[in-house]
Amino acid sequence: MAALAGKLVRSVKVLNNFGRGTACHRLLFARNAHFTYVPDTPLEEYGDTSRMNLFQSVNSAMDVALGEDPSAVVFGEDVAFGGVFRCSIGLKDKYGADRVFNTPLSEQGIVAFGIGLAVAGATAIAEIQFADYIFPAFDQITNEAAKFRYRTGNLFDCGKLTVRTPCGAVGHGALYHSQSPEAFFSHIAGIKVVMPRGPIQAKGLLLSCIKEEDPCIFFEPKILYRAAIEEVPTGDYTVPLGKAEIVIEGSDVTMVGYGTQVHVLREVATMAQEKLNVSCEVIDLRTLLPYDLETILTSVIKTGRMIITHEAPQTMGYAAEIATAVQEECFLNLEAPIQRVCGYDTPFAHVYEPFYMPDKWRLFEAVKKVVNF
């Protein structure tokens, strides 16, 4: 696992080291570009900003958390030297080796260690190197972290635990560096599940997770670590959990997604407007559990049509819950069957990634389907 991770890191580095405009970079980028990143604009009330990509904004969030809360610690595999995706770079030097430290290579150990820290009153920020490797910790997350407050009658809790983990497609991650396991976790009562779409969101949502009094799983779309760059507030701010955001307003079709797929949806909305004269409303869910059904319902009541997308496989995927909930609440408003545009029900294969992805063309087709129904 460590060796694979190392390989991927090297390839990410190689990708980054090619300067913009060189033939090699275009080639690599073209292979990965299933989306175009559109920077967000930070709210003025968040204060001074600085240009950051997503890994830098995650780093900034942890910097704020460690600075504000002396009990806070950051730990996981290879975090001490800065992390294989550079998210914790500089933090050990700034806050000390007892606060930013490597653990042995054991995911169940990492999450459990974090639960214990949180139970004893410390703020625990754990990293699982890839979301693909979170499954050894599944027992600790679902049977322990999620149920700690409930089963103890609120005598004990591990609300101060946040588990960060890189997720999603990266162009060439294959089976074990590409997964989006959010649906497994969204079925667990007692945890919060969050996925940002860019650096501003990442920092604000991560700080919310860290301060939240419930255990949180924070999925970071790794393809955005370097690709997503925008002006990010340098200070402390939070983006509320459990609240979706309407990224583009529209009147004909509601499109719901999260993470990298929000950028794909943005592009689809433009295509639909230009080629079909269809107005799409794009909603970024941001928090997957508990999720903001109200924002979705308000939108679907207005548009009467809905498309949901995620990179994860379709069957029993996250979209199934949204589709069912909307169908229950908006039966009389729906003018077409709800469409799911998701990954296929296969493992995430290496060379077939362009065919697997729920890309803009598959989504464009879904728009045609719902408006022509």
Partner 1 sequence: MFTRSFCRFSKYLQKPVNRNVCKNRKLHISTALCATHSSGRYEDKPEFPGSRSHFIHKLEFINPDDTEGIPVYRVMNRKGEIIEQSEDPQLDKDTVIKMYHDMTLLNTMDKILYESQRQGRISFYMTNFGEEGTHIGSAAALSPKDMVFGQYREAGVLMWRGFTLDQFMDQCYGNCNDHGEGKQMPVHYGSKELNFVTISSTLATQMPQASGAAYALKRKGKDRCVICYFGEGAASEGDAHAAFNFAATLECPIIFFCRNNGYAISTPTKDQYRGDGIASRGTGYGMYTMRVDGNDVFATYNATSAARDICVKECRPVLIEAMTYRLGHHSTSDDSSAYRSVDEAAYWDKQDTPIARLRYFMISKGWWDETMEKEWKKESKQMVMETFARSEARKKPNPELLFTDVYKNMPWHIAKQQQQMKQHVTNYAEHYPIDSHEKWKD
Which of the residues are catalytic? 107, 177
Which of 38/122 has CB closer to partner 1?
Answer: 122
Distance CA 260, CA 180 (A): 11
CB of 240 to partner 1, least distance (A): 13
Least distance to partner 1, CB of residue 131, Å: 19
User: Roughly how many angstroms between the first and final C-alpha of the chain, as a whole number?
Assistant: 47
Residue with Cβ nearer partner 1 (138 or 344):
138
- Backbone φ and ψ for 270, nearest 5 degrees, come out as -65, -45
> Measured from the CB of residue 148, what is the shortest distance to partner 1 in angstroms?
8
- Given a contact cutoff of 8 angstroms between Cβ atoms, the answer to whether 134 and 165 are in contact is yes
What is the contact surface with partner 1 in residues (CB under 8 A)? 71, 73, 98, 101, 103-104, 106, 108-109, 112-122, 124, 136, 139-140, 143-144, 147, 149-157, 159, 189-190, 192, 213-214, 242, 290, 293-294
Tokens of 197: 């779409």
Rounded CA-CA distance 210/214 in Å is 9
Minimum CB separation of residue 326 from partner 1 in Å reads 14
Q: Which of 9, 122 has the CB closer to partner 1?
A: 122
User: What single string gives the DSSP state of each residue in 101-159?
Assistant: EE--S-HHHHHHHHHHHHHTT--EEEE-S-GGG-GGGHHIIIIIITTHHHHTTTSS--T
Identify which of residues 160 and 222 has a Cβ nearer to partner 1 in the complex: 160
**Which residue reads 């995706």 in tokens?**
85
Q: Is the CB of residue 209 less than 8 Å from the CB of residue 218?
A: yes
CA nearest to 58, candidates 127, 2, 110? 127
Name the minimum Å distance from CB 78 to partner 1.
14
**Nearest residue (CB) to partner 1, 124 versus 272:** 124
**Separation in Å, CA 111 to CA 106, 189, 215, 331:** 9, 17, 11, 41
